[in-house]
Structure 1
Amino acid sequence: MSDHAFDLVVLGGGSGGYAAALRAAELGRSVALIEKSLVGGTCLHRGCIPTKALLHAAEVAESARHGSAIGIRTSFEGVDAAAVRSYREGIVHKKHKGLEGLIKARGITVVAGEGRLEPGPRVRVGEDTYTGADVVLATGSTSRTLPGLELGGRIIASEHALDLEEVPRSAIILGGGVIGVEFASIWRSFGVDVTIVEALDHLLPAEDVASSKALERAFRRRGITQRLGVRFGSASQTADAVSVELADGTSLTADVLLVAVGRGPATAGMGFEDAGIELERGFVRTDDRLRTGAAHVWAVGDIVPGPQLAHRGFQQGIFVAEEIAGLAPVLVADEMIPKVAYCSPEVASVGLTEAAAAESFGADAVHAYEYNLAGNGKSEILGTAGIIKVVRRVDGPVVGVHLVGDRVGELITEAQLAIGWEAHPEDIAPFIHAHPTQSEALGEAFLALAGKPLHAL
């Protein structure tokens, strides 16, 4: 048994953990990064990157299927699942090697193994301990299921869906959140008969209702069946199929059932509570500077209550490293963090929904404008429908931006800047957007809210 001392010990090598490690090393700290699997975590290996690779493959499939509509002679002969998997794994491998090289270049000590937090603060890995002047907890999240619904066989979570050796002929997706709509989009482009079951009234229920409705219309046009506002009852499977009973008595049958009801914090069995960490429903309680109740122990990413987004964890990791160094950094509020569902069409947002803004400021104090992408030249060229919705306080700043349409996720950073800097539409309206781009649609919405619409009545 031996003890190793570092300025910072990070437990978990996902987006939040490796960001904290890199920034701390950059600031001259000695860092140990403890990871039981592969640095990069869920985002790189089982989430963001592999699913977006599949979404790109799905986009290519759609282009091949519909090329003749724009005068390009193409044909769609099906999906080579093994080749798509090889393409996806190649991207993940390349990004993983790049991250490993970056960590090595910073002089960070990577410890392979399962860590357990102890008072000190320190982390035990096997017979060794790693003591830090500070410890950052960044253990991430795991797929959730529902009580009585056991994963296995034809009942799978998203990480299992990535490893399917064949494209299913049909799929039921339980949950209409980001994971659910992204896999629905992928599989439908691959020719799968898809049904989404969502207990709430809309897909992506955390988004502005206008965005949810726009996505639902688009999915209906794509032939994706939606069972909204109905709860799951039970599921059973045979060697050939899985059957789902809904609470309203409806029965559904498919090749696979994807359980996409969200992700839970990975905090159980890691010694957190014994070391003085307060948990609430498995999440780590922190103050507004991400300090836990244990001295010199911090938490970032999916184990901290709030939206479970890789870029949120990344930003929090940088924040904590700078906070420890005494740099007094600014922590971006959760509502200021952009969200994107990369389905087709994409759904992106930042700030408040119209309903949330009305609740915060009063219905009469909020003005929203919705611009249809049918009026945008680049969107017409791309063949995408959708909307741009901007919410402002009357005679005040922009407080929410909501986008639906293929590739609109690339516009969300401009929206974040507008909201983060409390810009008024009148401030933004004079700035010209390049033509033809989809960003012009966002400009049109700002113009309209400034009282001078050009391409809208």
Structure 2
Amino acid sequence: MTRDFDVAILGAGSAGYACALRAAQLGLRVALVDEGQVGGTCLHRGCIPTKAWLQAAKVRRTVAKAPSFGVLASLDGVDAAAVKGYADSVVGSLFKGLTGLVASRGITVIPERGRLVSDDGRGPGIETGGRTHRAGAVVIATGAAPVTLGLPVDGTRIITSEEALRLDALPGSAIVLGGGVIGVEFASMWADLGVKVTLLEATDRLLPAEEPGHSRILAKELARRGVDVRLGTSLTEATATDAGVRVLAGDAELTADLLLVAVGRKPSSSGLGLEEAGIGITATGHVVVDERLQTSARGVYAAGDLVSGPQLAHRGYAHGIYLAERIAQLQGAFAGTPTLPRDSDIPRVTYSSPQLASVGLTASQAGADAEVVDYHLTGNGRAQILRAPGEREIGVVRLVRRGGGQIVGMHVIGEDVSELIAEGALLVGWQAAPEDVAGIVHPHPSLGEAVAEANWALAGQPLHMHS
């Protein structure tokens, strides 16, 4: 039986290229098909450039409050084109490294639009430009695209996050539609860069997947920094004008230089030949898979944002690695037993100011017998050092355990707390009990000490907390 490849992957984003790298590492012949650049949305139009812009916003915020630290500094403004250049340089460096790594593994990159074709006895395949590349297995990993709600997105006045990252000049004012991760990050970032921001969210709180108390803290902090946060407010009309954009939201008419539509992303599953191959697609556009990411078509798998669940680049990496090992195992090239991480064990971060990070179950999800400890960062030395004198510390580390049992959730809010959540993922993923880990020594002064303190409290031995 002649096959072109052992595995062919449609989509070169986080899930796709991770699958390709791991499969090649295991000795499989790999094809990576994508008409776009290797790295996909996360590297080029999402995670990386957004976080670079957020870092620039943090620098501006730091300079603005430098005198309160005793450092004489003046803030002259923001050169948006230069910030974009900085973000592009970060993306460019990572892209160069990634393409070099892909080439070094002997992966065949096919820079064309692909379409799934069914198994004809030689395995499923991907069709590109009139040619079909047959493989022992096919992985569909085409990611997601912005949801626009039918609004007249023109890329200038009414934009998505992808156009927002290409701006050469900052707007004087902006309306952000959506209080999820993307909307919150852009609202926080633009506010710190000096933009007048109105944030509209149709539900009663920001970041609905997070602990309600942390969502309330975030909303208050954004408002304190000048963001006009309007919860329970739906947008009913948006019109681009010569001067900017006019929006009807609730009972109010709002105007601004631009409107950012940031209400989420939908799976890019149409036009790929999936339904013609007999693969189930849900009403939301997600590909139907089993517990091993196998679709209903023989030898065809789906990964990343195509699969219902949290839309996270590192979830895509995990899916890609798992599928590479699963396919290699089925083809006799891997002797191990691949394990697909549970969605609840995958950490998530919102890189706003303050940052929110979480992994595992919330207190309500953990059940009535759950035990919860909140350690407030007012007692943490490192958190106090990071705050400008006179600023109120709002940070909290929350640990959740089942009654008398294992830790099932960690939820944090505060400055730079994103770096804590990897420890939370270890605690939750390894099903640790507080009594087992409370004695682990953390460096002082560090934000990580807050996790140690919360563990001590859950173990019934609070040290720097009132019992």
Query: What TM-score, normalized to structure 2?
Result: 0.94
Q: Aligned to 1:89, what secondary structure does the other structure show?
A: helix
Matching residue of 2:224:
221
The 5 Å alignment of 1:77-226 reads: 77-120=76-119, 121-226=124-229
Q: Aligned to 1:227, what secondary structure does the other structure show?
A: strand
Residue in structure 2 matching 1:254, options 256, 264, 272: 256
Note if 1:52 corresponds to 2:54: no
**Aligned equivalents of 1:339, 1:440: Cα separation in 2:** 20
Note the residue ranges of structure 2 that are not aligned, 5 or more in a row.
Answer: 330-335, 388-392
Matching residue of 1:276:
278
**Aligned equivalents of 1:149, 1:155: Cα separation in 2:** 7
Matching residue of 1:352:
361
**Aligned equivalents of 2:395, 2:255: Cα separation in 1:** 32
Q: Aligned to 1:412, what secondary structure does the other structure show?
A: helix
Q: State the shift of 1:148 in Å.
A: 4.5
Matching residue of 2:18:
19
Q: Note if contact 2:8-2:30 (Cα within 8 Å) is conserved in structure 1.
A: yes
Q: State the shift of 1:423 in Å.
A: 1.0
Matching residue of 2:38:
39
Q: Deviations over 1:258-316 (max 9, x none)?
A: 00000000011111111121100211000000000000001100001000000000010
Q: Note if contact 2:153-2:160 (Cα within 8 Å) is conserved in structure 1.
A: no
Q: Aligned to 1:325, what secondary structure does the other structure show?
A: helix
Matching residue of 1:374:
378
Matching residue of 1:390:
399
Q: Which of 378-387 and 160-169 deviates more?
A: 378-387
Q: Aligned to 2:65, what secondary structure does the other structure show?
A: helix
**Aligned equivalents of 1:18, 1:279: Cα separation in 2:** 23
Q: Note if contact 1:58-1:190 (Cα within 8 Å) is conserved in structure 2.
A: yes
Q: State the shift of 1:147 in Å.
A: 3.5
**Aligned equivalents of 2:220, 2:406: Cα separation in 1:** 30
Q: State the shift of 1:151 in Å.
A: 4.5
**Aligned equivalents of 1:181, 1:393: Cα separation in 2:** 31
Q: State the shift of 1:444 in Å.
A: 1.0
**Aligned equivalents of 1:380, 1:28: Cα separation in 2:** 51
- Rate the CA distance shift 1:263–1:255 in 2: closer, same or farther, 3 A: same
Q: What amino acid is aligned across from residue 265 of structure 1 in structure 2? A: P
Note if 1:449 corresponds to 2:449: no
**Aligned equivalents of 2:200, 2:427: Cα separation in 1:** 35
**Aligned equivalents of 1:48, 1:71: Cα separation in 2:** 34
Matching residue of 2:328:
325
Note if 1:335 corresponds to 2:344: yes
Q: Note if contact 1:145-1:151 (Cα within 8 Å) is conserved in structure 2.
A: no
Q: State the shift of 1:421 in Å.
A: 1.2
Q: CA RMSD in A?
A: 1.2
- Rate the CA distance shift 1:148–1:255 in 2: closer, same or farther, 3 A: closer
Q: Note if contact 2:159-2:260 (Cα within 8 Å) is conserved in structure 1.
A: yes
Q: Note if contact 1:379-1:385 (Cα within 8 Å) is conserved in structure 2.
A: no
**Aligned equivalents of 2:445, 2:222: Cα separation in 1:** 26
| Count of aligned positions | 449
Q: What amino acid is aligned across from residue 114 of structure 1 in structure 2? A: R
Q: State the shift of 1:169 in Å.
A: 0.6
Note if 1:63 corresponds to 2:62: yes
Q: Aligned to 1:283, what secondary structure does the other structure show?
A: coil
Q: What amino acid is aligned across from residue 260 of structure 2 in structure 1? A: L
Q: Aligned to 1:114, what secondary structure does the other structure show?
A: coil
Q: Note if contact 1:18-1:40 (Cα within 8 Å) is conserved in structure 2.
A: yes
Q: Note if contact 1:151-1:157 (Cα within 8 Å) is conserved in structure 2.
A: no
Q: State the shift of 1:149 in Å.
A: 4.7
Q: Aligned to 2:431, what secondary structure does the other structure show?
A: coil
